[in-house]
Amino acid sequence: MSRIFVTGGSGRLGRSVVAGLAEAGHHVISVDRDAVPAGELPAGAVQETADLLAPGEAQRLLRETKPDAVIHLAAIAVPFSAPEDVIFSTNTRLAFAVISAATEIGVPKIVTASSPTVLGYGSPAGWLPPSFPLDERTPAKPWNAYALSKLIAEQTAQMFAAAQGERIRYAAFRPCFVISPEEWKGAPTQQGHTLAERLADPALSAPALFNYVDARDVADFLDLLLQKMESIPNGETFFVGAADALATAPLADLMPRFLPGSEALSAGLTGTSPAFSIAKAQALLGWQPKRSWRSELKSHPTLNDETSALVTAGTGAKETS
């Protein structure tokens, strides 16, 4: 059992990460400005309320809790949800404050959250990648403060890895559009739409290139990453997503409708293939997501007939490897 310090533990992703790591047998210290109700905190977890941007606060908490690993999730999590300078300053300062404090204290494993948005899709000036599926080699071209702040978080971890050598292990991960457990039951997603609405209208998922990931799969990924960090290259970055796309039709058909000029690039995204590759996490870590919208929506029979029809439509496509 490890002691794991999770920043942003009260957030949409953080709650599932805290719960998943606690369920896996770890002692989890959840740190956030806002506390979750005591009854919602899983066994094996404790919470600390703190402003990690306050001078010395990250060092104080880390010294007091003495974790074996740090997972940094805390951030302004939605692009354009605050002024651009506020998003950039908050997210970059948080990443540096937490990673530098953990490094100074000597925490042996440090992981920071990034975002697929670092690639630059959705740019008003237009965007096309060199190829699909997108992976960690796809060039980063952030066009807003949120995406840039996440790229800098990755580079912050890599900077410390370059300075520390093998003494401390660092990694970053890019979780796709996060679906929390309550959203499978009909709660609105981060953008205010239900999953049924996002599936019924491809225009709602197109801005994120139809990517998604179950928050519990992210928790599983992080548990495995912490186990394997000493045996993989230091400072690695991973995409973390579902094994399929959040769509009822192949992306080879959908992508050209919403990404002009992508007909040839997306021609290989047949069947249920997603736009983002998780091959690196599969190869280096042996990680595989366990959950799909096709199985998770079907597991909630209280959802309406329209959702059931979408699940049926989504499972009708020919599977591809």
CA gyration radius for the chain? 19
DSSP conformation class of 130: S
H-type alpha helices, 29-144: 57-65, 84-105
Half-sphere exposure of 228 (CA within 13 A, CB side): 18
Best CA proximity match to 44, nearest among 62, 63, 30:
30
Query: Residue 238 pairs with which residues in a beta bridge?
Result: 173
Q: Which pLDDT band, with edges at 50, 70 and 90, does 318 fall under?
A: very low
Quick one: tokens of 241?
């997503």
Residue in this structure with the two tokens 């880390």, named with its chain if needed: 62
Task: State which H helix or E strand residue 15 sits in.
Answer: helix 12-23
Query: Residue 111 pairs with which residues in a beta bridge?
Result: 71, 171
End-to-end Cα spacing for the chain = 36
What is the mean predicted confidence (pLDDT) over 303-317?
Answer: 55
Q: Which pLDDT band, with edges at 50, 70 and 90, does 313 fall under?
A: low
Confidence at residue 68, expressed as pLDDT on a 0 to 100 scale: 98
Res. 304: pLDDT tops 60: no
d(CA 233, CA 169): 9
Cβ–Cβ under 8 Å, residues 244 and 272: yes
Q: Which pLDDT band, with edges at 50, 70 and 90, does 191 fall under?
A: confident
Exposure string for 223-256, b = 16+ CB within 10 A, e = fewer: bbbbeebeeeebbbbbbbbbbbbbbbbbbbebbb
What is the mean predicted confidence (pLDDT) over 101-130?
Answer: 98
Cβ–Cβ under 8 Å, residues 246 and 293: yes
What is the mean predicted confidence (pLDDT) over 71-98?
Answer: 97
Q: Which of 123-137, 212-226, 293-307 has the lowest mean pLDDT?
A: 293-307
Res. 137: pLDDT tops 80: yes
Cβ–Cβ under 8 Å, residues 156 and 112: yes
Cβ–Cβ under 8 Å, residues 289 and 223: no
Confidence at residue 320, expressed as pLDDT on a 0 to 100 scale: 35
Higher pLDDT, 317 or 254: 254
- Listed by start position, the domains of the chain span 3-180+212-243+275-291
The per-residue pLDDT of the chain, averaged, comes to 93
Confidence at residue 306, expressed as pLDDT on a 0 to 100 scale: 54
Cβ–Cβ under 8 Å, residues 94 and 72: yes
Q: Which of 34-38, 192-196, 302-306, 311-315 has the lowest mean pLDDT?
A: 302-306
d(CA 45, CA 47): 7
CA angle (209, 216, 8) in 5-degree steps: 90
Phi, psi (rounded to 5 degrees) for 45: -125, 145
Q: Which pLDDT band, with edges at 50, 70 and 90, does 39 fall under?
A: confident
Domain at 3-180+212-243+275-291: CATH code: 3.40.50.720
What is the mean predicted confidence (pLDDT) over 82-101?
Answer: 98
Confidence at residue 315, expressed as pLDDT on a 0 to 100 scale: 54
d(CA 136, CA 113): 14
Q: Which of 30-39, 119-128, 159-168 has the lowest mean pLDDT?
A: 30-39
H-type alpha helices, 24-71: 57-65
Res. 319: pLDDT tops 80: no
Res. 316: pLDDT tops 70: no
What are the tens digits of pLDDT across the range 256-279?
999 999 999 999 999 999 999 999
Res. 321: pLDDT tops 50: no
Res. 300: pLDDT tops 90: no
d(CA 179, CA 176): 9
What are the tens digits of pLDDT across the range 41-66?
999 999 999 999 999 999 999 999 99
